[in-house]
A = this chain, B = another copy of it.
């Protein structure tokens, strides 16, 4: 292929490489201005790596890298808590439950050690645990028998399993058909808590570093415990929770927890009636203890590995994903690991900010999509350029607000080389990325003079991570809420994530201008039972009435009590119908024109809406659909509130959220300070260098005016284009 010309500047770019195509890789490095190269899961570094670039990354798998060791020490397999299928006792006959029914036997096998302590049979109809003397276990068949069940009650068995196959390697193996490749094995994970894993892990890293002097950066992929990823009996995904701790458990860990915390965790604390403590569940105190316990362990052990890398003169980088459980980057132990860098995958503006905002590391890096895999890089409908554009366009909003230090791509570079127009496009993207660093002078753009607080059960721990199930995948039930953080990730506000507990303990922090509570009723994001505590309503009402701003999305503060469903219905001026107040007549009046709705069409896209009809009690309705409030504003004491029934991301909705934030904070003037006329465009102002960047977030060419500093500019922007302007 003919390569595009060399770029104006170089650096900040990591390129995946592989063996056997040295000259093409050399040319590609030049075109992209790459200063680092990396291998992937399934590729190896060629010998020329070190001479091409400043830094060579290599993946390192502390939890599955040595399969000889794994096979020689089968007692060290990682464990995982699983819940059997639900079975109803159809009468008085003994009830048999095959615990592995529905699970992938290549991935899991029951772990029988001290099963009386670690397994739990539960009558789900009453919620009561069945005493161990009232059930039997057949280890040959993996079957639990309840000889005398209560007729017509549903039962489950929560059990510990051995993980026979590392989850990510299983996923890659199945996705890439590695069963046809005799060099591939099904990699078994081993648990750092189990003897003699830890001694081996330290020594193996030391040996590996000695054997690989060409590696400058150890790209830990990752540390010890994989997020929850469970396959079904057909070898297809059955359960995925990018935040899941189900595979961080073991008899050793449970014993250590009990010794330290003075109480024993039960199987139910992990299987959680089948919800497995997913982030949508309001976390139990036990689960929060477990996160803390696991995070401390992982941080301490990870630090030892980082220290070994440092002692050998290498940098330590963590991949944010795969075996990342226990390293939540906004958790209190994360900085103590001492990592030099974090690299993660960009799936949205929110996930990009999730990475670029991580505290306690020297630099951050993001891997853009598409991953160079045959599912996209094929000539039968694959669209690598389109995916590269999507990835850049969504992430750029976040990068403008808080730049990552580095960017890169991953996968099989040989596949990408077959698509010259793709190479040309990512070369442009690499240059635009470097330009942001250069032209901003290393400064962040100006933000609004108040902070935005996102209020949910997780708070700071899961900054930018609300409503995620499997990283940045689209979920029908989530996209109407994800839009809130997706918009904020590219808007000119400093965002702070606050937990209910934090607000209950310390009140609303002084620098917060507007609080947002967004989520479906009964979830950790809306709050569920936490709203039964009058103190929470008291604190927020007092704060809003004193001049604060409150934005509710969907079913904020939802907890049916005292004649209201939204406990802050007085603040919001709206409530959600529960089919209990249908006898009350409503006379909704719509005010279409308002500061908040100025960029909206008459039809407002609220996605899935609020899960039921919403009516105004005192709010002014700005958008109404089939009698249900979609957007409303309310005054409360000296403060203000805005209600959205849903807010899927779009540039119009993002702009509307920006307006809502200014209005709620009683700072309508702000939108006139820096403002673009076309809602598909955004402007970032860098006061230190007196320069602004205007970006076109759409795939169409647009013409927009930009107002700021008392001046006005008119700009024509290409599709996805951007433009830097100096201000005199």
Binding site for B on A (CB under 8 A): 86, 88, 90-91, 122, 124-127, 150-154, 156, 228, 232, 236-241, 244, 273-276, 278, 280-281, 469-470, 475-478, 520, 522-523, 534, 537-539, 541-542, 545, 560-564, 570, 577-585, 587, 611-613, 617, 626-627, 637
What are 11 A-B contacts with C-beta separation under 8 Å?
A86-B564, A86-B570, A90-B545, A91-B545, A124-B564, A152-B542, A156-B563, A236-B587, A275-B581, A477-B613, A520-B579
Cross-chain contact B580 with A280 (CB below 8 angstroms): yes
B273 with A563: CB separation less than 8 A: yes
Quick one: given A88-B541, A560-B522, are A280 and B585 in contact (CB under 8 Å)?
no
What B residues does A127 contact at CB under 8 A? 561-562
A126 cross-chain contacts in B, Cβ below 8 A: 534
Is A469 touching B154 in the complex (CB atoms < 8 A)? no
CB distance from A483 to the nearest CB of B (A): 15
A726 to B59, CA, bound (A): 86
Q: Which residue of B lies closest to A273 (CB)?
A: B563
Chain B residues within 8 Å of A280, by CB: 579-580, 582
Task: Indicate if the CB atoms of B236 and A522 lie closer than 8 Å.
Answer: no
> A410 to nearest B CB, angstroms?
24
Residues from chain B with a CB closer than 8 A to the CB of A534 are: 125-126, 153
In angstroms, Cα B582 to Cα A237, docked, is 13
Which residue, of A281, A582, A626, has the highest number of chain B Cβ atoms within 10 A?
Answer: A582
A560 to B90, CA, bound (A): 22
* Interface pairs A-B: 8 shortest CB-CB: A273-B563, A124-B562, A152-B538, A152-B541, A274-B563, A241-B583, A520-B579, A125-B534
Nearest CB in chain B: distance from A277 CB, A? 10
Query: In the complex the two chains form, what is the Cα distance from A477 to B611 in whole Å?
Result: 12
Inter-chain contact A582/B278, CB cutoff 8 Å: yes
With a cutoff of 8 Å between Cβ atoms, the chain B residues found around residue A560 in the complex are 522
A577 to B125, CA, bound (A): 19
Could you tell me the distance between the alpha carbons of A584 and B276 in the complex, rounded to whole angstroms? 10
Closest residue of B by beta carbon distance from A83: B563
Question: Smallest Cβ distance from A153 to chain B, in angstroms?
Answer: 7
Known: A88-B541, A151-B542, A561-B127. Contact between A238 and B584, CB under 8 A? yes
In the complex formed, the residue of B with least CB distance to A587 is B236
Copies of this chain in its oligomeric complex: 2
Q: Which residues of B contact A587 (CB under 8 A)?
A: 236
List the B residue with the shortest CB-CB distance to A543. B152
Q: A152-B538, A153-B538 are in contact. Are A583 and B545 (CB under 8 A)?
A: no
Q: A236-B587, A534-B126 are in contact. Are A582 and B154 (CB under 8 A)?
A: no
Distance in Å from the Cβ of A475 to the closest Cβ of chain B? 6
Known: A90-B637, A561-B127, A570-B154. A583 touches B276 (CB 8 A): yes
Q: Least Cβ distance of A411 to chain B in Å?
A: 24
Cross-chain contact B523 with A580 (CB below 8 angstroms): yes
Distance to closest chain B CB from A161 (angstroms): 17
Q: Which of B281, B562, B581 contacts A125 (CB 8 A)?
A: B562
B152 near A563 (CB under 8 angstroms)?
Answer: no
Is the contact region of chain A dominated by helix, strand, or loop, or is it mixed?
A: loop
Closest CB-CB distance, A308 to chain B, in whole Å?
A: 35
- Closest B residue to A244 using CB positions: B583
When distances are taken between beta carbons in the complex, the residues of chain B under 8 Å from A539 are 152
With CB as the reference atom, state the residue of chain B lying closest to A584: B239
> Complex Cα distance A276/B545, Å?
30
**CA separation between A85 and B127, bound complex, in Å?**
40
- Distance in angstroms between the alpha carbons of A125 and B570 in the assembled complex: 11
Partner of A582, one of B150, B478, B570, B617: B478
Q: Which one of B237, B578, B583, B626 lies within 8 Å of A476 (CB-CB)?
A: B626
Which residue among A237, A275, A584, A587 has the maximum number of chain B CB atoms within 10 Å of its CB? A584
Residues in B with CB closer than 8 Å to A538 are: 125, 150-153
Give 12 A-B pairs besides A244-B583, A275-B583 with Cβ atoms closer than 8 angstroms.
Answer: A86-B563, A90-B541, A90-B545, A153-B538, A154-B564, A238-B584, A273-B563, A275-B563, A275-B580, A478-B579, A520-B578, A522-B579
Chain B hits for A613, CB < 8 A: 476-477
With A476-B613, A545-B90, A587-B236 in contact, do A523 and B579 touch (Cβ < 8 Å)?
yes
Tell me the complex Cα distance, A587–B234, Å: 12
Interchain nearest-CB distance for A290 vs B (Å): 17
Q: State A570–B89 Cα separation when bound (angstroms).
A: 11
Quick one: which of B154, B237, B274, B585 contacts A240, CB cutoff 8 A? B585
A585: which of B152, B154, B236 is its contact (CB, 8 Å)?
B236
CA A86 to CA B584, docked complex, whole Å: 14
| A562-B90 Cα distance, complex, nearest whole Å | 18
Q: Please name all residues of chain B whose beta carbon is closer than 8 Å to the beta carbon of A580 when the two chains form the complex.
A: 275, 278, 280-281, 522-523
Given the interface contacts A86-B563, A562-B124, A613-B477, does A585 sit within 8 Å of B522 by beta carbon?
Answer: no
Docked pose: A91 CA to B151 CA in angstroms: 55
* Complex contact A585–B478 (CB within 8 A): no
Of chain B, the residue at the smallest CB distance from A569 is B86
A238, A563, A577 — most chain B CB neighbours (10 Å) = A563
Report the separation of the CA atoms of residues A633 and B542 in the bound assembly, to the nearest whole angstrom.
52
> Given the known A-B contacts A534-B125, A545-B91, A613-B477, are A583 and B278 also in contact in the complex, defined by CB atoms under 8 Å?
yes
Q: Using Cβ atoms and an 8 Å threshold, which residues of chain B touch A151? A: 538, 542
Give the interface centre of A152, A560, A564 by most chain B CB atoms within 10 Å. Answer: A152
Shortest distance from the beta carbon of A617 to any chain B beta carbon, whole Å:
8
Question: Looking at A542, A564, A578, which has the most chain B CB atoms within 10 Å of its CB?
Answer: A578
B residues near A475, Cβ cutoff 8 Å: 582
Nearest CB of chain B from residue A521's CB, rounded to whole Å: 8
A679 to chain B, nearest CB (A): 28
Contacts of A274 in B (CB 8 A): 563, 581, 584
Cα-based distance from A127 to B560 in the complex (angstroms): 12
Q: Once the chains are docked, how many angstroms separate the CA of A92 from the CA of B387?
A: 58
CB distance from A484 to the nearest CB of B (A): 15
CA A398 to CA B627, docked complex, whole Å? 31
Residue of B nearest to A229 (CB): B583
Rounded to whole angstroms, the CA-CA distance of A564 and B240 in the bound complex is: 19
Q: A278 contacts which chain B residues (CB < 8 A)?
A: 580-583
> By the criterion CB–CB under 8 Å, are B124 and A583 in contact?
no
Chain B min CB distance to A182 (Å): 31
Rounded to whole angstroms, the CA-CA distance of A275 and B582 in the bound complex is: 9
Candidates B469, B477, B562; contact of A577 at CB < 8 Å:
B477
Complex Cα gap A91–B274 (Å): 44
